[in-house]
Structure 1
């Protein structure tokens, strides 16, 4: 699985888009019922005392000289709508659909000041009111990150052992054994999907693809498991493969030595819960990442295992916000894994992605699409809202 640096940077941006769809982040459109709200240094305005259930929309203007984040919250501090970044002098709508209850507007200035309006009551009934989200203080991600780092600490030595086994095969000239041992090494790395952004240059040296290299597959700087794959399945001599496997072992050893000083960004885990399999859809299910082994569907299966590991450390936080979601996701992952396993032949060998039947591909695509749709809710569900 491969993500260029621009893909990683853009991965941070969709949180606001997802929130817009799920919670009602403000977009530029005319304000509706609810009235104007002025964010000031000393306060957050005054909403009307009451409103009917249904669509509620406040025109919020930042009358300060600093940026503001604006939330619509209820008595239990759940978030129903937000403007993530309101610039000085600008007006944006804070809009959502509310059921009966008591609500308030909270303004968090970039100076650190927090102001909350008086509560207003909503009465009556409406169809499909927005479900509020429990705010997530940054420190709540400490335990999941610690647990994930601990898991990585046990997984990296397995990757090293598999890489050393592959190198030993090539060292004695047994390329058939090397082909057999290449896949376990590759899958050991692919299961670490949520940590790629923490591996720095080691990611490219361990599992880089020829995409973007000046000479493609002939580029002398291409290294790692995919380079070994290409060499093994394109008739390279053991003497030409050995430098690649030796460099692979060195890179994995370097990663293990460096990893204690690397940080796993708390914001990465909720994003990767969705992105791992999003990349799988693009690169593995299509076979685009295959360099000759025909095992990209095995890689897709490893990616589902990587997703399960991320979900396992996030489940306590998800349970606290959407209790039915973990079981739903678990069932969908199991279904997708069954689809992938069904592509193997009677000997257990993986069928190359382009060779699977139409019915199998449609089933995989349908199950993966549904899983991705449900996984896409996690970045918003676990978006930091420390002062909400």
Structure 2
């Protein structure tokens, strides 16, 4: 994906903030030492190689002089120090002059500030695009690189909101079918508790919960329904005894901690009502197309943070099953996005391979329909699960970046 530099917190988009947390910021920080070493000799001129061994070029960011300063183009790995000498904050893209593909970008570049991007450029035509706040985009002069055998990249051809509508609608339709399935399975869970059959309720709990866990990319659209259906004790002063502790995990706690069927009828009934309300309201909901690529990354990011740490286990010991369901949900969303990714993600086959690897790794925790609890896993197996899912999360960050809706005008 293209190099991304973070702007001031108020100027960052939700997607890029998430990506910075995932590791892109490290690449930007690695450049900083070299930039600081060269800052004293700066000006608006081409700079020599610095402590990082890369060529540094100071580029001006203004509406009148977007990209001024890049006068001696060369191929290879290099750093552009983007200096905003205007009176307004701006986004800045380094683009392929022919295709519009973005090789590097800076968000929220405030007046009087400077920020680096690091890119690899080969033979081709390039141009900086400056997008000031509350003003039209300005494209700077085209710069030609004519020599060398360096391969440019990575880069992302921007997607439009319109292009994201078909995959979003396809995913919404899939979610609609899942809400029906969820209601049916939650009915089974509630019925078992109502008749006092706790073994049957424990058997029914996981199938119902996994349906919900496969729907992770839609949680933001669910609104308050998500808390009613799948809340944990996080932020609740009363913990598991707090009246705000509701949904699947409240029922899970009771089923695996010796509570009576009578005490669980209320929580199970409220869970069932919340699920039916979600099913009935879903046809009127609309997901934001700009969010779907980010969700593909967030689902498994949350899995690593919550499920693989055991923070969401309230007695059933089924975190690995939940992680597997999250993976299934991610695969569905990637399938909807595939038409856009095929022309943008050069490592899509590699992502597919890691999805398959993660599935096999998680499936190693299931035996004859029973899932091993995290604390019962051998250390080597748990480390492998953590490593494989962690690597997959890093690769999914590219999907979020490639499907980001960027300003073009």
* TM-score past 0.5 threshold: yes
- Distance 1:230-1:69 versus aligned 2 partners, 3 A rule: same
Residue aligned with 1:222, SS: coil
User: In 2 relative to 1, CA 276–110 (structure 1 residues): closer, same or farther, beyond 3 Å?
Assistant: same
Deviations 1:49-94 (A, max 9, x none): 5422124444433343332221111222211112222223333345
- Report what 1:279 is aligned to: 302
Q: Which residue of 1 aligns with 2:321?
A: 298
Counterpart pick for 1:339 among 339, 357, 361: 361
Number of residue pairs the alignment of both structures matches = 378
Q: Shift of the alpha carbon at 1:124?
A: 2.9
Bigger CA drift: 88-97 or 306-315? 88-97
The answer to whether the Cα contact below 8 Å between 1:50 and 1:120 also exists between their aligned partners in 2 is no
Q: 1:52 to 1:41 in 2, by over 3 A?
A: closer
- Structure 1 residue 374 and structure 2 residue 378: aligned? no
For 1:233, the equivalent position in structure 2 comes to 256
CA RMSD of aligned residues (A): 2.7
In the alignment, which residue of structure 1 is the partner of 2:10? Answer: none
The whole-number CA distance in structure 1 between the counterparts of 2:286 and 2:31 is 33
SS at match of 1:321: coil
Which residue, 245, 248, 251 being the options, matches 2:271?
A: 248
Shift of the alpha carbon at 1:319?
0.8
Partner Cα separation in structure 1 for residue 307 and residue 247 of structure 2: 17
| Contact residue 136 and residue 384 of structure 1 kept, 8 A | yes
Render the CA deviation track for 1:254-280: whole Å, top value 9, x for unaligned: 222333443323333222212211222
Residue 365 of structure 1 and its aligned partner are, at CA, apart by: 2.4
Change (3 A) 1:262 1:43: farther
Displacement of 1:351 in angstroms is: 1.4
Does the 8 Å contact 2:58/2:70 carry over to 1?
A: no
| 1:2-61 deviation line (CA, Å, top 9, x unaligned) | xxxxxxx97651345766678999967546457544333445254545422124444433
Is the 2:123–2:150 Cα contact (8 Å) retained in structure 1?
no
User: How far apart in 2 are the matches of 1:385 and 1:11?
Assistant: 11
How far off is 1:334 after superposition? Answer: 2.0
Q: What is the aligned partner in structure 2 of residue 312 from structure 1?
A: 335
The corresponding residue for 1:62 is 84
Corresponding position: 1:13 with 2:46? no
Identify the match of residue 352 of structure 1 among 356, 370, 373.
373
Contact in 2 for aligned 1:40/1:62 (Cα 8 Å): yes
User: Deviation string for 1:124-157 (max 9, x for gaps)?
Assistant: 3366743222112222211121111111111101
Equivalents in 2 of 1:336, 1:37: separation in Å? 43
SS at match of 2:289: coil
Aligned to 1:5: none
Gaps of 5+ in 1: 1-8
State the alpha-carbon separation in 1 of the partners of residues 142 and 394 from structure 2: 35
**Using the alignment, how far apart are the partners of 2:67 and 2:30 within structure 1?**
19
Gaps of 5+ in 2: 1-12, 48-54
Return the alpha-carbon distance in structure 2 between the equivalents of residues 348 and 157 of structure 1: 24
* Shift in alpha-carbon separation, 1:52–1:143, aligned structure 2, 3 A: same
Q: Give the C-alpha shift of residue 308 in structure 1.
A: 0.5
Contact 1:103 1:120 in 2 (8 A): yes
- CA contact under 8 A between 1:104 and 1:117: conserved in structure 2? yes
Residues 1:21 and 1:72: Cα distance change in structure 2 (over 3 Å): farther
In structure 1, what is the equivalent of residue 175 of structure 2? Answer: 152
Match for 1:91 among 93, 104, 114?
114
Q: Equivalents in 1 of 2:81, 2:323: separation in Å?
A: 46
Q: Which residue is equivalent to 2:9?
A: none
- Per-residue CA distance 1:348-387 (angstroms, 9 max, x = gap): 2111111022332233223222222211221222222231
Q: Secondary structure at the match of 1:220?
A: coil
CA distance in 2, matches of 1:25, 1:352: 39
SS in 2 for 1:81: strand
